[in-house]
Amino acid sequence: MTAAADLADDLHAAALRRDQWLERAGLAGLAAPALLLVAVTMIVPVGWLFGLSFLDDAGAPSLEHYRRMLAEPSYGRTFRTTFEISFVTTLICILLGYPLAYFLSQLPRRAANLCMIAVLLPFWTSLLVRTYAWLVLLQRSGLINSWGIKLGLWSEPLQLVHNVGGTLIGMVHIMLPFMVLPLYGTMRGIDGNLLRAAASLGSTPVHGFWTVFFPLSLPGLAAGSALVFVLCLGFYVTPAMLGGGKVTMVSNRIANDIELFFNWGAASALGVVLLAITLVVLVLAARLSRGTGLFGAGH
């Protein structure tokens, strides 16, 4: 082959590569409108808000809002409440969600799909409607109190709502599907032959469950727990409605700072810390579950 033909081939290959790149870039460009929307209504405003947290009341750069957050014990209490409620909610969701997901995974598919409606119905029902339902059920003259008294379980109406307990009930109810869905997916994917093999080697059903099934279900449990915990950290509506002003989570505090005190700096400093904690939990969860196919790694 002559040098001229080589050169022509090279040019041709380069042109093809450029064409391919241009086509790919054009395709990626289809995401531009969505990216623009998210940038304009999300990233820029949140960035702008976060900028305010580094300014003092006169508009000069300072860490005053963060210093105050460390100095005032009420902020520490807010964060402790948020962590405690998120942790307890996650724990109860594990205790209720694991047996439920296991139950569903052991049913024949048709029956499981039917039962799934009971999980998905609340999942897609408005959070406000569900919180309202609990408010009605748990109030002094509500169903739980009147039936409890009728059955002789207690004699005076109990204070079931407008406190931490009511908030926890509402949050567990809202978060449970987020625990059950990933768990159920993982459990359905476990190869039944492994359990059959364990049984044929002399393992009892209970022993087989703990040594084979349970360890294989852990990735789903980790994914569900991380999801529930992170979503709990940002809860606003349920503590506001079922907490009766006694339960202040970080989101409620942010809203109060804006609505009652017009204190943008304090609110945005809280926001920075809330987002930072959320990201740390997500990164930790992704780290811990690396290699288990969680968070998209296995797709």
Partner 1 sequence: MGWLDRPASDTQISHRSRLWLYGLGALILAFLAVPTLIVIPMSFSQSQYLEFPPREWSLRWYEAYFSSSTWMAATATSFKAGFCTALLATPLGTLAAYGLHASRLRFAGLAILVLLTPTIVPVILVGVALFYAYVQLRMVNSFLGIVLAHATLAVPIVMMIVGSALKSFDMDQERVARSLGATRTQAFLMVTAPQIGFAIVTSAVLSFLTSFDEVVVALFVSGGDNATLTRMMFLALRDQIDPTIAAISTIMIVMTSLLLAISQMFGKGD
Identify which of residues 1 and 43 has a Cβ nearer to partner 1 in the complex. 43
Instruction: Kindly identify the residues of this chain, within the stretch 127-156, that bind partner 1 according to CB under 8 A.
Output: 127-130, 132-137, 139, 141, 143
User: 8 or 197, CB closer to partner 1?
Assistant: 197
Residues 2-31 that bind partner 1 (CB under 8 A): 24-31
- Nearer to partner 1 by Cβ, of 62 and 264: the residue is 264
Answer for which of 221, 241, 247, 285 binds partner 1 (CB under 8 A) is: 241
The full DSSP string for 231-283 is HHHT--HHHHHHSTTS---HHHHHHHHHHTT--HHHHHHHHHHHHHHHHHHHH
Residues 124 and 160: their CA atoms lie apart, in Å, by 26
Scored b (16 or more CB within 10 A) or e, 140-179 reads eebebbeebeeeeeeeeeeebbbebbbbbbbbbbbbbbbb
DSSP state of 59: S
Stretch that binds partner 1, among 53-61, 149-157, 266-274, 283-291 (CB under 8 A): 266-274
Contact call for residue 274 and partner 1 (CB under 8 A): yes
215 touches partner 1 (CB under 8 A): no
**271 binds partner 1 per the rule CB under 8 A:** yes
Query: At residue 88, what is the residue type?
Result: V
| Residue 46 touching partner 1 (CB under 8 A) | yes
Q: Which amino acid is at 90?
A: T
Tell whether residue 55 is a contact of partner 1 (CB under 8 A).
no
Contact between 45 and partner 1 per CB under 8 A? yes
Structure token pair of residue 37: 């929307």
- The answer to whether residue 221 forms part of the interface with partner 1 (CB under 8 A) is no
Find the farthest-apart pair of alpha carbons in the chain and give their distance in angstroms, rounded.
102
Q: Does 243 bind partner 1 (CB under 8 A)?
A: no
| Contact between 49 and partner 1 per CB under 8 A | yes
Residue 286 touching partner 1 (CB under 8 A): no
Instruction: Give residues 61-90 in contact with partner 1 (rule: CB under 8 A).
Output: none
Distances 174 to 239, 246, 264 between C-alpha atoms, Å: 12, 20, 30
Residue choice 69, 89, 168, 177 for contact with partner 1 (CB under 8 A): 177
